[in-house]
Amino acid sequence: MTEHEQLLAQVADKARSTRPWGWPSLPGPVDAATLARAEATLGFALPPLLAELYLRIANGGFGPEYGLLPLLDNAPSGEPAAVAQYLANRESGHEDPDWPWPEGVLPISHWGCGMYACVDCRSPRATVLLFEPNPGDPDHAWFLDAPGLADWLRSWVRGTGWYEEENEGVDLAPWTGSAGRGTSAPASAPTS
């Protein structure tokens, strides 16, 4: 078994044994057509590991805190799906240029209080970022959560993420990769 397959198996095991708030059960995975529709709506492809999570494990409902957002349909808690949240954030960034949302940065998990774990779909390792707008400073709202999605998933599986109680007070490094990525027109909403 490859390291990649081993990680997917560990994530699947933990996904079956834990349930984030608002998720009564683990939903089924998405099909290839749903993934293609999501990517067409976004205007970019999901990193392979993120796509596999949705295709092989579940359409959200697992992961740290509130869990991964579903891809296209709202969560049982009413939380918008990842694609809808991305489009809303991009649109909001165009309405308020002080708070641009970077192109290709997909929110994948809500932490509460406006905070999101996001995947930089343009980065080779699928860098995971924390968006934390609460201090009110758009120039200091982005942080490096993990160098790659695989690292982020491993920290969840092992219980070593910054959000774990024993890691309280861990400072995340600022992310500076958003420069110049919030200026183009947002993707259009799906027309299903």
Domain ranges in the chain? 3-161
Q: Kindly compute the dihedral angle of the four CA atoms of residues 68, 71, 72, 77, in this order, to the nearest 10 degrees.
A: -10
The predicted structure's pLDDT at residue 188: 43
Amino acid at 95: E
The predicted structure's pLDDT at residue 78: 75
- Are 178 and 105 in contact by the 8 Å Cβ rule? The answer is yes
- Residue 120's Cβ-count burial label (10 Å; 0-12, 13-18, 19+) is buried
Amino acid at 73: D
pLDDT tens digits for range 98-148: 889 999 999 999 998 889 999 999 999 999 999 999 888 877 899 999 999
pTM greater than the 0.85 cutoff: yes
- Which residue would you say has higher pLDDT here, 172 or 19? 172
- Are 69 and 79 in contact by the 8 Å Cβ rule? The answer is yes
Least confident of 11-25, 84-98, 105-119, 145-159: 11-25
User: What is the rounded distance in angstroms from the CA atom of residue 53 to the CA atom of residue 33?
Assistant: 15
Class of domain 3-161: alpha beta
Sheet with strand 142-146: strands edge to edge? 105-112, 115-120, 128-131, 142-146
3-state secondary structure of 151: helix
The predicted structure's pLDDT at residue 167: 82
3-state secondary structure of 31: coil
